Amino acid sequence: MDTADKDNAPAKELNVWIVEDHPSYRKSMVFLLNSMDGFNCEKDFEDVESALDELKEGKPDIILCDIDLPGMNGVAGVAAFKAVYDDIFVIMLTVHDEEEYIFNAICAGADGYLLKSTSEEELNRSIMEVVNGGAPINPRIAHKVLKMFSTFAPKQDDYDLTEREQEVLKLITNGKTKKHVAAELFLSFHTVDYHLRNIYKKLQVNSRTEAVAKALRERII
């Protein structure tokens, strides 16, 4: 094992369980985990139910869990494991990168979400990240999480701005002066000034700076 791997090794041996219904992949993961410094894959299971039964007799530090499993799926398994011991770390290890699976796993209490294509080095680092209070997520999954949660942001009020007022607001937000706004929209200077007064009133602000700040903060345009 190289220096980087030794640096990632835990101070004490961590007991890891794996729940995976594909026999050859499960066996390869057991071998891999046992070959890594500081990790001991003591038990492996083909379904959540078997792992839950074993929790009556012992407790691992970490459970690596697939999603597609016979009987109870891995997402439901996360909640079930946490119901028995809320301090068990559960990391999803799956082929699924669909937003629905990611969202449901996070809501169920998963401490991390990795794809099966994760390298040995990344797996090692991710397990240690969880133990140290982090929440490892595959970069591709992280991008999806950010995109997914951005859609949950509440719809911002448009403050009943007219189409023309929105055009004026967008231009001043882009740094245009009233003179430039007038020229670009083929309006008189006084008409632009009239629209700005209405914009200030609707946004409940008193200046161009406040209007721009509110437009950017609340994504009005």
Which one, of 63, 121, 128, 70, lies nearest residue 92 by Cα? 63
List the pLDDT tens digit at each of the 221 positions of the chain. Answer: 444 444 455 567 899 999 999 999 999 999 999 999 899 998 999 999 999 999 988 999 999 999 999 999 999 999 999 999 999 999 999 999 888 888 888 888 999 999 999 889 989 989 998 988 888 887 778 777 767 766 665 556 778 999 999 999 999 888 888 899 999 999 999 999 999 999 999 999 988 878 888 887 777 87
Last residue of a domain, one of 115, 150, 185: 150
- Could you tell me how far CA 40 lies from the centroid of its own chain? 28
Do 142 and 177 share a domain, yes or no? no
CATH number at residue 61: 3.40.50.2300
For residues 157-181, one letter each, b for 16 or more C-beta atoms within 10 angstroms of the residue's C-beta and e for the rest, the string is eebebeeebbbbbebbbeebebeeb
Q: What is the CATH number of the domain that holds 173?
A: 1.10.10.10
Number of independent structural domains in the chain: 2
> Residue 56, Cβ neighbours under 10 Å: how many?
8
Domain around 62: 3-150
Of the candidates 125, 122, 147, the one whose C-alpha atom is nearest the C-alpha of residue 134 is 125
What single-letter amino acid sits at 200? Y
158 in any annotated domain = no
Q: Could you tell me if residue 109 is inside a domain?
A: yes
Q: What's the rounded Cα separation, in Å, for the pair 189 and 181?
A: 8
Q: Are residues 23 and 120 in the same domain?
A: yes
Is the pTM higher than 0.85? The answer reads no
10 and 114 co-located in one domain: yes
8-state DSSP, 115: E
